[in-house]
Amino acid sequence: MNIYFHEFTSTCPNNGAVIAYELEIQSNTVIMVEEIIAACAVDMTYHEELADRLYERFGGIQSMVAFHHGVRIQTVRPGRAVLK
């Protein structure tokens, strides 16, 4: 199994605040880091929508945490099968 971690920032669509994200992708396939970076380089989108897009693109098991105005938001997108 491969585990990819990526930290990035994005702009909130509601108020323009900068949001810090931590992404983890667990995958049995190889993912090019440049593809992860490019997929996360978006602004003005909601956390949950971004999580859905990343899951569609990369699959696997994903967890993404955002820190927005002191609130910790976490989304988890499971893979089709449990990875071991």
In terms of CATH architecture, what is 2-77? 2-Layer Sandwich (3.30)
Q: Are 3 and 35 in contact (CB under 8 A)?
A: no
Per-residue pLDDT of the chain (84 residues; tens, 9 = 90+): 999 999 999 999 999 999 999 999 999 999 999 999 999 999 889 999 999 999 999 999 999 999 988 999 999 998 554 444
- SS3 of 49, please? helix
**Taking the domains of the chain in order of start, what are their residue ranges?**
2-77
Cα dist. 12→31, 39, 69, 73 in Å? Answer: 27, 17, 11, 13
Burial 44-69 (b: 16+ CB within 10 A, else e): eeebeebbeebbeebbbbbbbbbebe
Integer Cα distance of 36 and 20 in angstroms: 16
pTM of the model: 0.88
